[in-house]
Structure 1
């Protein structure tokens, strides 16, 4: 077994090593920043504007599900056209969230980990009550 987790497993020597999730986020943030810079969009990428754009894109994702039943919503990825729309809106939401985090210096993964930690303390797992014994008296 390979001792270096950043390298591909020995069984697949020709495959490229997978980037860690945080590395991929950083690379995507850089691509988004370069995309915006090439178009001189930085003056428009204020925290307020990015938060508004994020809200709009999240609303477009919600719109796909607006009139679906719960059962239909669970099958939304089965239809290629709808699956494509969902994936596009998820991408838009993530793009604006990453740009928002970049502008404000928020590490999204650290923020999420800290929030999960707080929620675990705030909402502890309740022990299931012991089943009551039913006597056959």
Structure 2
């Protein structure tokens, strides 16, 4: 069975998964933000005591690579669920943030864009 791997389809699968298990009452913004933080910490834990060289090579080891992929998936899953509950389009939010950062942090040699307010 082929599954679509676009963001909207994955987000809907997460919504359907939670709904089928009656988890909606627990998927509050606070709970999802807390879960997201915990999963991000679990991703960080993989790298906690590694040297920069070891961290750069973490995907070379199949066991470590599997752990990284699982934690990335958990972080993304909770972020998508958080966005769904609050009605945030994550791709739009990201694009708008990049736009603001491009103005705030110009390339070397460029002037910052004038403030509009």
Say yes or no: does 1:121 pair with 2:103: yes
Say yes or no: does 1:46 pair with 2:1: no
Q: TM-score, normalised by structure 1?
A: 0.76
Pairwise CA distance, 1:127: 2.1
Report which of the two structures shows the higher radius of gyration computed on alpha carbons. 1
* Superposition RMSD in Å: 1.6
Say yes or no: does 1:65 pair with 2:40: no
Task: Count residues in correspondence.
Answer: 108
Runs of 5+ consecutive residues of structure 2 not aligned to the other structure: 111-117
Moved over 4 A (4+): none
More contact order relative to length (CA 8 Å, sep ≥ 6): 2
The correspondence for 2:75, drawn from 69, 75, 93, is: 93
Alignment match, 2:94: 112
More helix by share: 2
Runs of 5+ consecutive residues of structure 1 not aligned to the other structure: 1-15, 129-137
Q: TM-score, normalised by structure 2?
A: 0.89
